[in-house]
Structure 1
């Protein structure tokens, strides 16, 4: 296993699953990773390096931190350290719902109405 500054999560089988850490579109990005202070602060540092190299400003105040299986107080604490807002599921990313059970027809209807 390779050490990296930001640790993503494995999707699927723990041993053979794909490692996922980010999804980027034109002007949106979503990062998924292990929940710990070091990982979060490393992400902030990496975004700062991206700004230094590209000149593209990262506005953390417009960013949200979500915790899955993490208490709301913990999400609020870490978002305060990172300088972003805390939020909860569900939310929309690129027009698609994240955090809803999409096997329920009612959730599809609700997501298409937004």
Structure 2
């Protein structure tokens, strides 16, 4: 930890005031007591890998990304399903968009919004 702090100070020219946000102790981080803890709780599913998301996590993710109208369509979907979809998207974007439009009855904007959210969720 001391080495990391030294690297940060070196990168910032020993001016730690340039760090954006409060520095928390490990205990504060574990308890989520920083000022943004409620925001972090609202996106709790992003704290664990997509592969481990439950159906409820996927529903929350859809709502958080303003894709509520897709909740019924993806009601049985878990995180692993999203990973498979992301893999299909990575393999052939045009075919994937076609699948979203035909199999999931999404319009162009909804397809784009879904893909943006999917990329962000699966980038880790």
Q: Tell me whether the two structures share a fold, i.e. TM-score over 0.5.
A: no
Structure 1 or 2, whichever has the larger Rg, is 2
Q: What TM-score comes out, normalization by structure 2 length?
A: 0.25
Answer 1 or 2: higher relative contact order, Cα 8 Å, separation at least 6.
2
The two structures have a TM-score, normalised by structure 1, of 0.27
Structure in which a larger fraction of residues adopt helix = 2
